[in-house]
Amino acid sequence: MNAGSLLQEALAHHQAGRLQDALPLYQKALEIEPDQPDGLHLCGLVHHQLGQGEQAAEFIGRAVKLNGESALYRTNFAIVLNMLGRFAAAEEAAEAATRLAAENAEAWHHLGISRLGQKKFEAACASLTKATNLAPNNPEYLNNLGTAYRNLEQNDKAVETFRQAVAGDPSFVVGQTNLAEALKGAGEIAEAEYLCLTIIERHPDHASVYHVLGGILLLRMAYTAAIEAFKKYIELNPDQTKGYVALAGVQNILADYDEAEKNLNRALEINPNSASTVQSIGSLLLQKGDKINAVERFKQVITLDPDISQSYFDIISAGTEDLSADNLSHLKSIIKRDDVTDANKATAGFTLARVAEKAGDMAASFTYLDRANELRLSVLEKFGYRFDADQLAAEFQNYRDFFNADFFDQTKELGHASEVPVFVIGLPRTGTTLVERIIASHAEADGAGELLEIENIINDLKRNNETYPACLTNLDSAETNKMAEGYLTYLQSLNASAARIVDKNPFNYIHLGLVTCLFPKAKIIHCRRDLRDVGYSCYSQNFSDPVPWTNDLRSIGLYFKQYQIIMAHWEKSLPTPVLTLDYENLVTDFDDNAKRIIEHIGLAWDENCLKFYDSEGAVQTASSTQVREPVYTRSVGRWQQYAEQLKPLIEVLGIE
């Protein structure tokens, strides 16, 4: 039998799906005629369909060399190379295919995939748009285009595109899961969660949906449920690192550092070269005060993936060593590149700003800050986070109107008698972490970090009632105690024996009306600082949480004015005494002010409070490295070096 006859017989088996029968016939034909392009191409396709990627690439690659003018060969070569993760070679093959057949939607599609794999998101978007224009109802093409939009942080377009993908195929579970992820990013949390639960009902073994659901529950601060979702993802996908990293992230929030470390180490066992896992381990070590080992981890990240800007930022934050000239050169290139996300560019900008400031080049430092904040604000806006000064003013006015003298008089017999909670409040970057560590160094006290429990109580009230705080109008003892007991139970789960436990979420200043109602005997410490220093510190900080008012100087000023107004109201109206602590006084007269703090919370003096920097325990905030040092005054009056650049903030504040 000649080669042509063998190919015909092989093709018949191939088209009928009998791959194991087709393969030996193709091979026999190629033994007779080894340079037969169609035979090589078809033999490669069988290998591909059998999951034998390397063999597929070899045979189809040979076919391409023999007949480089075949768009079909080049398209299928790109498909195989993409499957193997050889994205640069796949891009070359797909580009050639599109030149040979400009209307070949599949070639454009795989050109887009190859560019996604190389993080060339703009180029990927262009290729995938071309593919969807040629085949507008193809769910897979639309799904990958949506993925490109997600990576470009164009969340609204991603949602729209994923909706089109699942509209064309309602059973397309991958597209539905990606839609849920995009909805989460767009702030449509309720719809995203409902979609996840619908997918789980229909496809209970689809692992990815549990990872998305866990992220949604994390946003809702439903930590226990988030842990269960991530554990289910791990159960279904035990060999993927991202489940362990996500689970560790929640455990970190809950201060379960040992379990977080175990899960991160498990992820590292699965993939020792996972840069994101190593970064997470470094971050945990930095929180725990192990700067030396943390920096080694961050340097390892840079070796694995030099484009992760956060590693450079964390090395600078640790303060144990400087970045190399090569590091700085690479950071400067990141800011200019099109294949890097704006979030990554922003972090590079914040890092370079710190380096320039340390070198004494204040003008360059602020130029980098302006660019970093501009990028950061752009990212937040794409994800639906915007600062609305008028809305904030209306919200705070509502609180002032409701939590008045009459309210506190009517609720004076309510609340839990516990004196365990200590609320350290104020603006970010005002010394709240320092105050917490002073208290936590006391033998009878502990620090719980920035808890979200008060916010959780309010969110529960909002879900069960139309408006907050109006829903507290007829508050009774049973309701008050239920809320207070829930908070206290969580607090004491962190340390059952401590006489005082600090919740240092600074934004609890907004909710002091509810806090005082729940815990009339709780101690409150208000941390203040020169608003110009606070403003500069916020503007120069790469916050991990979405806080859009910190990325624009005028917005910072407008936010501060509302803070001043509501704090003036609390000082006048609260039935509970508040200790007001100025940062400048704390760091210049540390011993006396530390004693004031301990006296205010009702404990006997403990000399260990003067050695707060030696105390154990992880710190999760932007000040995590600073509280590992003795008190210093170098941050006092820091704004003066940038007086000219800070004019937009200073003008809003009305400070001469």
Residue 603 maps to which CATH number? 3.40.50.300
Nearest of 582, 587, 588, 589 to residue 531 by alpha carbon: 582
Nearest alpha carbon to residue 572 among 655, 512, 520, 653: 512
Position 534 in a domain? yes
Q: State the Cα–Cα distance between residues 631 and 628, nearest whole angstrom.
A: 9
Cβ(317)–Cβ(300) below 8 Å: no
Instruction: Report the alpha-carbon distance of residue 97 to residue 113 in Å, rounded.
Output: 14
Which tens digit of pLDDT belongs to each residue from 299-328? 999 999 999 999 999 999 999 999 999 999
Give the domain extent around 648: 407-653
- In this predicted model, what pLDDT tens digit does every residue of 474-506 receive, in sequence order? 889 999 999 999 999 999 888 999 999 999 999
What is the mean pLDDT of the segment spanning 528-541?
95
**What's the pTM?**
0.79
Taking CA 582 as the corner, what is the angle to CA 577 and CA 584, rounded to the nearest 5 degrees? Answer: 165
CB atoms within 10 A of CB 17: 9
The per-residue pLDDT for 460 is 84
Angle between the 309-318 and 291-304 helix axes, to the nearest 10 degrees? 160
Whether residue 191 is predicted with pLDDT greater than 50 in this model: the reply is yes
Where is pLDDT greater, at 561 or 459?
A: 561
**pLDDT by residue (tens digit) across 350-360?**
999 999 999 99
Amino acid sitting at position 11: L
Tell the residue number behind the tokens 């990293």, with chain if given: 245
Provide the percentage of residues in the chain whose pLDDT is more than 70: 96
Q: What is the pLDDT of residues 241-278, one digit of tens each?
A: 999 999 999 998 887 888 999 999 999 999 999 999 99
The encoded tokens of residue 194 equal 């409902």
437, part of any domain:
yes
Whether the CB-CB separation of 172 and 142 falls below 8 Å is answered with no
| In a domain? residue 203 | no
Where are the alpha helices (H) located in 186-324, listed in sequence order?
189-202, 207-219, 223-236, 241-253, 257-270, 275-287, 291-304, 309-318
Q: How confident is the model at residue 2 (pLDDT cuts 50, 70, 90)?
A: confident
CA nearest 578: which of 513, 623, 505?
513
What mean pLDDT is predicted for residues 340-368? 94
Q: How many residues does the chain have?
A: 656
Distance CA 536, CA 235 (A): 46
Give 277-307 pLDDT, tens digit per residue: 999 999 999 988 899 999 999 999 999 999 9
In a domain? residue 295: no
Of 441 and 10, the structure prediction assigns the larger pLDDT to 441
pLDDT, average across residues 456-485: 87
Of residues 424 and 634, which shows the higher confidence score? 424
HSE, side-chain direction, 13 A CA sphere, residue 82:
22
201 Cβ neighbours under 8 A, 6+ residues apart: none
Segment among 387-401, 589-603, 624-638 with least mean pLDDT: 624-638
The span from the CA of 380 to the CA of 403, in Å, is 32
Residue whose tokens read 């624009």? 552
pLDDT of 185: 84
**Which of the four pLDDT bands, split at 50, 70 and 90, describes residue 614?**
low
- 136: pLDDT strictly greater than 70: yes
CA distance 541 to 535: 10
- Residue-wise pLDDT tens digits, 536-571: 999 999 888 889 999 999 999 999 999 999 999 999
> 634: pLDDT confidence band, cut at 50, 70 and 90?
low
Q: What is the pLDDT of residues 196-224, one digit of tens each?
A: 999 999 999 999 999 999 999 988 778 88
Query: Per-residue pLDDT for 87 more than 60?
Result: yes
Looking at the structure of the chain, the number of domains it has is 1
pLDDT on residue 466: 67
pLDDT for residue 618: 47
- Number of neighbours of residue 637 by Cβ within 10 angstroms: 12
**Most confident region among 73-87, 252-266, 632-646 by mean pLDDT:** 73-87
Nearest CA to 56 out of 82, 87, 33, 34 is that of 82
pLDDT of residue 623: 47
User: How many Cβ atoms sit within 10 Å of the Cβ of residue 6?
Assistant: 22
**Is residue 195 a contact partner of residue 226, using CB atoms and an 8 Å limit?**
no
Residue 146 falls within a domain, yes or no? no
| DSSP 3-state of 553 | helix
Distance, CA of 409 to CA of 424 (rounded, Å): 24
Q: CB under 8 Å to 209, separation ≥6 — which residues? A: 173, 176, 177, 180, 196, 199, 200, 203
Per the structure block, which two tokens stand in for 491? 């607090």
The conformation of residue 428, written as its DSSP 8-state character, comes to T
Give the C-alpha separation, 492 to 646, whole Å: 43
Contact criterion met (CB below 8 Å) for 74 and 97: yes
User: In this structure, is residue 560 part of a structural domain?
Assistant: yes
Q: Given the DSSP bridges, would you call strands 578-582 and 523-528 parallel, antiparallel or unpaired?
A: parallel
List CB contacts of 507: < 8 A, sequence separation 6 or more.
Answer: 425, 455
529 in a domain, yes or no? Answer: yes
Considering only CA atoms, give the Rg of the chain. Answer: 29
